[in-house]
């Protein structure tokens, strides 16, 4: 049975992002995974405004973001096991996991990884610390 993965973000933290973390994420010079960035944009208008302003002056960072999105689409459309939507979800989850591996100061943004079957029934929920230890 093929399972799809998704990340459950820490909504409370995202809604009440500490100033230091917010400042670091505003001027972050690498790709922030779309799921995390979209949640930050939706919950914090100041972050959205300031990050957008930062990106207006950083073509190099924007280009990395566009490349990552294009690569994700290419991988999702060519996945032999999953339909493109499920594959995209797995890829986005993998990107978030890699992000917190590379930048552990942001690990608390993710609570857990949720595994679902083809009918979208939750099969298993793995806390992020446990998931990182296993992967």
pLDDT of residue 1: 67
What residues pair up with 116 in beta bridges, in sequence order? 4, 122
Question: Which residues are CB-contacts of 60 (< 8 A; sequence separation ≥ 6)?
Answer: none
Give the predicted TM-score (pTM) of the model. Answer: 0.88
Per the listing, tokens 């100033």 go with 19
pLDDT of residue 87: 79
Q: Phi and psi for 121 in degrees, rounded to 5?
A: -80, 135
**Helices (H), ranges, the chain:** 11-15, 19-26, 34-43, 45-56, 59-77, 84-102, 128-134
Q: Phi and psi for 89 in degrees, rounded to 5?
A: -60, -45
- pLDDT class for 113, splitting at 50, 70, 90? very high
**Interatomic CA distance for residues 113 and 42, integer angstroms:** 21
Read off the pLDDT of residues 35-86 as tens digits, 9 standing for 90 and up: 999 999 999 999 999 999 999 999 999 999 999 888 888 888 888 777 777 8
Read off the pLDDT of residues 34-43 as tens digits, 9 standing for 90 and up: 999 999 999 9
Read off the pLDDT of residues 8-46 as tens digits, 9 standing for 90 and up: 999 999 999 999 999 999 999 999 999 999 999 999 999
- Could you tell me the two tokens for 102? 């590379």
């Amino acid at each position: 049975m093929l399972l799809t993965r998704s990340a459950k973000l820490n909504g409370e933290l995202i809604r009440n992002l500490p100033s230091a973390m917010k400042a670091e994420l505003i001027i972050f010079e690498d790709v922030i995974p779309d799921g995390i960035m979209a949640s930050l944009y939706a919950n914090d208008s100041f972050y959205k405004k300031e990050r957008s302003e930062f990106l207006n002056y950083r073509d190099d960072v924007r280009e990395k973001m566009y490349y990552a999105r294009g690569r994700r689409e290419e991988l999702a459309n060519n996945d032999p096991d999953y339909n493109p939507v499920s594959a995209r979800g797995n890829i986005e989850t993998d990107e978030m996991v890699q992000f917190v591996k590379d930048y552990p100061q942001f690990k608390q943004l993710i609570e857990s990884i949720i595994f679902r079957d083809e009918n979208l029934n939750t099969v298993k929920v793995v806390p992020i610390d446990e998931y990182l230890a296993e992967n």
